[in-house]
């Protein structure tokens, strides 16, 4: 069975704090893909990053970084020096090789960054 768990429903931080959003996934497939999306109040899901199951290299993009660990089935997302504009709902998603465009989404983590 495929499942994505984002245990943190809502997180509040003060601007410039670092924050980590957790994502744990379940799949029986050996080839799968993981994604993070940001959903601002406007509603559109904005793509942030994808990671292939066969590539465990972590990635940094500006203030954003992602830690993929197959051993713990986790794909966590860290925002360094958070800003008010980072306030949004963040979704982690999983897809599998045989049904690539059928995404399984977590329930999302609402991030509130206060000035």
Partner 1 sequence: KAGVTQTPRYLIKTRGQQVTLSCSPISGHRSVSWYQQTPGQGLQFLFEYFSETQRNKGNFPGRFSGRQFSNSRSEMNVSTLELGDSALYLCASSLGGQMDTSTDTQYFGPGTRLTVL
d(C-alpha 27, C-alpha 115), whole Å:
39
Q: Is 105 exposed, middle or buried (0-12, 13-18, 19+ CB in 10 A)?
A: middle
Question: Please, what is the minimum distance in Å from the beta carbon of residue 74 to partner 1?
Answer: 19
Question: Please, what is the minimum distance in Å from the beta carbon of residue 33 to partner 1?
Answer: 7
Q: Do the beta carbons of residue 23 and residue 92 sit within 8 Å?
A: yes
CB closer to partner 1 out of 16 and 102: 102
DSSP H/E element including 15: none
Tokens of 96: 């599998």
d(C-alpha 80, C-alpha 7), whole Å:
20
Question: Please, what is the minimum distance in Å from the beta carbon of residue 85 to partner 1?
Answer: 18
CB closer to partner 1 out of 9 and 115: 9
Question: Please, what is the minimum distance in Å from the beta carbon of residue 97 to partner 1?
Answer: 6
Positions touching partner 1 (CB under 8 A) are: 33, 35, 37, 42-47, 50, 52, 91, 93, 97, 99-108
CB closer to partner 1 out of 77 and 91: 91
């Amino acid at each position: 069975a495929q499942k994505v768990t984002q245990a943190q429903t809502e997180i509040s931080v003060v601007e410039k704090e670092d924050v980590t959003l957790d994502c744990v996934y379940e799949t029986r497939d050996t080839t799968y893909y993981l994604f993070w999306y940001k959903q601002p109040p406007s509603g559109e899901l904005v793509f942030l990053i994808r990671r292939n199951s066969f590539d465990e290299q972590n990635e940094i993009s500006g203030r954003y970084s992602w830690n993929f660990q197959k051993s713990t089935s986790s794909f966590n997302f860290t925002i360094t020096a958070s800003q008010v504009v980072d306030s949004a709902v963040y979704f982690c998603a999983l897809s599998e090789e045989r049904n690539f465009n059928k995404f399984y989404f977590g329930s999302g983590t609402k991030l509130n960054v206060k000035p």
